Amino acid sequence: MDNEKIFLCVIAALALAFAIFNGICMAYMYNRSACTKGTVVTLMSPSPERVRRCNSKWAQVSYKVDGRTYTSRNRVQVPMWAQVGTPVTVRYDIKQPENLYHFSVLKILAGTIIALVCIAIVIF
């Protein structure tokens, strides 16, 4: 097997591992979390090179759970057009409501597609 095929196999394995890990995390935490509406309270502006690559910002969110207002400990990804006060849907930990989760089916799908494309190139 030549170096290019080995490289593509390694990329496929890493992409598939990434997709599987994210899928397991999502499945594990899905029943331990719930959705609510929140509001962006602070934004972290990314560097210019990150804006070109990610096209998103990271925000701290305020939201209500059982009549109590929480401000997230961690930040979640929001679109570039989001401003302070923008409403967002968040998924929080039921036992620790100040912790937010940000699952992404797109991450799982992207990892799977990359792995399949690399495998197809190696085979053909």
For residue 71, give both structure tokens. 């401000």
- Whether residue 112 is predicted with pLDDT greater than 80 in this model: the reply is yes
The neighbour count for residue 123, using CB atoms within 10 Å, is 8
pLDDT at residue 8 tops 80:
yes
Task: Give the amino acid at 31.
Answer: N
pTM reported for the whole predicted model = 0.68
Lowest mean pLDDT among 23-27, 34-38, 103-107: 103-107
Report the alpha-carbon distance of residue 85 to residue 62 in Å, rounded: 9
Per-residue pLDDT band at 53 (split at 50, 70, 90): low
Per-residue pLDDT band for 99 (boundaries 50, 70, 90) equals: confident
DSSP state string for 88-104: EEEEEESSSTT-EE---
Mean pLDDT taken over the chain? 88
Residues 6+ apart with CB under 8 A from 51: 80
Banded pLDDT at 54 (limits 50, 70, 90): low
